A and B are shown apart, each in its own frame.
Chain A
């Protein structure tokens, strides 16, 4: 377990946890078609920690992330970002929260094709109508190694470069927490390793909090902590993971879910 290093650049007063859920449930449909995607999940993400959420397909890991990030509504339970309880927020406040305090990295990169790399990176700030902190921006950009590609459009960048832009976009507004949804899912192993390296560096060097959903044990190996989900329930958790240990645990989960 890495203690959260004090960083003068940390944007929000610390409570120790960047985000937390308690008794979080998410139910789709009703009656015969009722599906419980999340079943009373309570989990906390410590500041300055890199967490990976793992589990077999359909275990609810993406749903957990969507709910924790305020992208999706919850059926019951609570979600907090810092000290803010999301269930009390309206759409506008939720939107502002996402804009100012959460960063996103998607599997499909999801850059805006009409904007240049730099414009994509500063998009959340532009939406908020704020000027980017130049020093910070340069630091982020040079960290992901995009200094020479800022004027390019996504169509002119490789997949790895696009995802690096996405990482920079997530970091640019200095959010309390960054959520990554299979950030390496569309990348080859080399580009994937680069992106994961950046995410780990952002945690180590910038004190960023990162939560990532993945099904790749190698990706999970970059995290400080791995939590395992199965059938919508939190089933296990592992500190200082290595790909091998994660793989073993996953195999066990797989057989468990198949036999259950």
Chain B
């Protein structure tokens, strides 16, 4: 039987290629993703262990728990360094004074400031040879005194710095300007993976990150043959137990690798999702191909049965064929996957966000996945048709025509499909009344959508007939070719539906995502616009640092600025919850904050009074005129505040509004503002104004100046990912659908050789044949698109109604452009897919009509 299987695999090369391609693509995506994930994790690990190479133990200060009294000066001083160097087994002890610093690039914009954890700063601490081995100089000299700094070569290149430049930077509040005197090299993976490094002289770094004469850590290297853990124990004994601790280098490397890996894990999600979807859609292609292959071989199988092969042998024969094919395809897919894995870092890295370089790491997981996915899915896909094949009665060997599916089978299909549709649709519709996007509701929505997709696939063969009759009205305009194309597509609705299923799924996904994305985007836009009257918002990066109090006045004095309202942000504890409070000057915010009051007004806001958002007011059960007990910021005492008004939820205002005096007094950063809302003359937004505002904020890299569009974009940040996802899915769906349609058409052309010969004999020219095949292909594509669009739009509507509960401004907004693009892409896919089969059909000779079979 194995030999028969092998012969079958090799019998039709074109068919073989198509099926292998289908499996191959799915495997390639999965393997590529897995190998990429493992390789990048390994690269991070390698980089991290390089960071800690030669470090046996690191001593770090231990801080008293907050609130336990005044902080004692750090224990890590030169004396401790000396003491550590004397410990038996220690080769050298090297102190460090590290922290973080954000730099402005030469263009005045914050440099690689998106990831605060990778904006590092360090002290230049020369060893005995006068050089700092952690930061070897490649150009210039080491910084001396407070006015100088060095940066690493990556930072210099990204920021456009040259030696002698003045570099603007900030570590916490104040803006610092230092002259660049040297460029160093660093191996720190956080910096090489898209961070920055600023190097100061010892005194400056100590002042910034520890206290004069103290260090932030001491790295200890061991003499050969010393056990790290034992050494750590010996060192710990020397340390003041409450003020310092010792950690081994290996432990730190692991910790840092895990940390960086977690922070960059987002890179893996998207390709993984693509792999999953392509596999899902691809499995339709595989199932479809095998079904067609088996039904084409009905006579052959019947013959096998007639000459005495048992059902089991037939099933086994088909399964062996699938295993062989799966193995070949998986191997090819694996190779392709390695290719994908090797180009992914290049695609995903940007100068702003670099991935560490490293060799491809091929662990057992991708190999197992490739085999499991490739062989597993192929065998599974072959199993169903193989059972059908085994049921072929020997008498079939004598019959020529295909048997149409029985009425019972389609009735069962109809009932099952309708039940699934009702379940999915019902679940989704029942959610439209939901008030919030809770986890449970979202999960229900997901399962509703999944049910809907399955229902569509089950029902597709039944829907094919009416839908294609409808589209046939359009193709009918092409005369007899259109008529024949329609009838051919209808000939085997199951085959047509299976061919279209890849398009159904991908179109539904893309259309759904596009609609939700577009609606959400517009909602965010409206929301930002609803709450914000300002044209610019100046804020501190991360919100943890304060804006220099003088900034507000300077901003107000900037040309083009009409009003500037400083807002003190903090937190307020009330009713057992922590909420955001914005301290405002009621007179100044009218212009920059758009508030809709449900009751009361801002007029009476002053010390001892607050206004609440509608949600908070509802939860607290108070309305205007009532009182709530609350404490703001670091104030430990609860105070009674009078509620002067309740406003509709507003992202700019936050949950609670208080008087600026109250918040500035009690906030965690007293007497500061965190945001300045700026109204310009005539609501003008320009680069000049922005630069002026940036200058007014002292050009501090820690301060962000954003116009309204930037704020909206930021809120819609995840939508950019959604867009990538959408177009990625569209591309995958298109490629797989293309393969599927080519596959089906090629087979159906082969099936219809004689018919095409007749058409040629009775006078259809080659162009007519080509047009017929193309129209058939487009009909199938249009069917898939139509069904997918319907499903996608319904799903989007249902999920959108759910979102409506959570997002007030949400309303269904159809992205016509994208939907049109989806339709065009699908129809083009149909035309493209038909190219080769159509050419093949057109080249058939009219003699095929009379050929003996």
Report which A residues bind B (CB closer than 8 A).
62, 66, 71-72, 91-92, 95-96, 98-100, 104, 106-108, 110-115, 119, 123-124, 126-129, 155, 169, 181
Contacts and interface: CB of A to CB of B under 8 A. Distances in A.
B764 A108 contact: no
A92 B765 CA distance: 6
B763 A114 contact: no
Given A108-B754, A114-B484, A95 B763 contact: yes
A112 B758 contact: yes
B465 to A, nearest CB: 13
A123 B847 contact: no
B850 A99 contact: no
Contacts of A111: 758
17 contacts: A66-B850, A71-B845, A71-B846, A71-B849, A71-B850, A92-B765, A96-B763, A104-B849, A106-B850, A107-B850, A110-B849, A119-B483, A123-B762, A124-B763, A126-B483, A127-B763, A155-B401
Contacts of A155: 401
Contacts of A99: 762-764
B762 A124 contact: yes
Given A66-B850, A106-B849, A169 B762 contact: yes
A127 B847 contact: no
Interface in B734-766: 754-755, 757-766
Contacts of B480: 123, 126-127
Contacts of B762: 98-99, 104, 123-124, 127, 169
Contacts of A119: 483
A71 B487 CA distance: 26
A108 B758 CA distance: 11
Given A119-B483, A124-B762, 11 more contacts: A62-B850, A71-B761, A71-B849, A95-B760, A100-B763, A106-B758, A106-B849, A107-B850, A114-B490, A123-B759, A123-B762
A107 B757 CA distance: 14
Contacts of B754: 108, 110
Contacts of B388: none
B766 A66 contact: no
Contacts of B850: 62, 66, 71, 106-108, 181
A21 to B, nearest CB: 17
A95 B764 contact: yes
B847 A71 contact: yes
Given A62-B850, A155-B401, A110 B758 contact: yes
A62 B849 CA distance: 13
Nearest to B764: A127
Nearest to A155: B401
Contacts of A91: 765-766
A115 B758 contact: no
B494 to A, nearest CB: 16
A114 to B, nearest CB: 3
Interface residues of B, number: 27
A interface: dominant SS: helix
Nearest to A107: B850
A86 to B, nearest CB: 13
A112 to B, nearest CB: 6
In the complex, the 7 A-B pairs of residues with the closest C-beta atoms, listed nearest first: A99-B763, A114-B487, A126-B480, A95-B765, A110-B758, A124-B762, A98-B763
A257 B754 CA distance: 32
B472 to A, nearest CB: 12
Nearest to A62: B850
B650 interface: no
A110 B768 CA distance: 18
A128 B757 CA distance: 17
A18 to B, nearest CB: 17
A72 B848 CA distance: 11
Contacts of A106: 758, 849-850
B491 interface: yes
Contacts, number: 82
Nearest to A97: B763
A112 B769 CA distance: 14
Given A96-B763, A98-B761, A124-B762, A114 B488 contact: yes
B479 interface: yes
Contact of B847 (A66, A92, A169): A66
B840 to A, nearest CB: 16
A129 B401 CA distance: 30
Contacts of A104: 758, 761-762, 849
Nearest to B754: A110
A127 B765 CA distance: 9
B761 A112 contact: no
A98 B488 contact: no
Given A127-B768, A128-B763, A112 B847 contact: no
A100 B765 CA distance: 12
B645 to A, nearest CB: 73
Contacts of A62: 850
A156 to B, nearest CB: 12
The interface centre, meaning the residue of A96, A119, A126 with most chain B CB atoms within 10 A of its CB, is: A126
Given A96-B765, A115-B484, A126 B846 contact: no
Contacts of B846: 71, 98
Contacts of B766: 91-92, 95
A128 B483 CA distance: 14
Nearest to B853: A108
Contacts of B847: 66, 71-72
Interface in B834-853: 845-847, 849-850
Contact of A112 (B479, B759, B760): B759
B733 to A, nearest CB: 29
B551 to A, nearest CB: 78
A129 B483 CA distance: 13
A2 B226 CA distance: 120
The interface centre, meaning the residue of B483, B758, B766, B768 with most chain A CB atoms within 10 A of its CB, is: B758
A114 B487 CA distance: 6
A127 to B, nearest CB: 5
Contacts of B761: 71, 98, 104, 110
A181 B754 CA distance: 15
A201 to B, nearest CB: 22
Nearest to B485: A114
Contacts of A113: 401, 491, 755
Contacts of A112: 484, 755, 758-759
A123 B765 CA distance: 13
Nearest to A129: B479
B487 A115 contact: yes
B648 to A, nearest CB: 62
Contacts of B768: 127
A169 B845 CA distance: 20
Contacts of B488: 114
B402 to A, nearest CB: 10
Nearest to A170: B762
Contacts of B755: 110, 112-113
Contacts of A127: 480, 759, 762-764, 768
Contacts of B758: 104, 106, 110-112
A165 to B, nearest CB: 12
Interface string B480-513: 1001100110110000000000000000000000
Contacts of B487: 114-115
Nearest to B851: A108
A3 B490 CA distance: 49
A129 B763 CA distance: 11
Interface string B813-853: 00000000000000000000000000000000111011000
A68 to B, nearest CB: 13
Nearest to B400: A108
A128 B479 CA distance: 10
Contacts of A126: 479-480, 483
A71 B483 CA distance: 25
Interface in B525-542: none
A100 B764 CA distance: 11
A127 B846 CA distance: 15
Contacts of B484: 112, 114-115
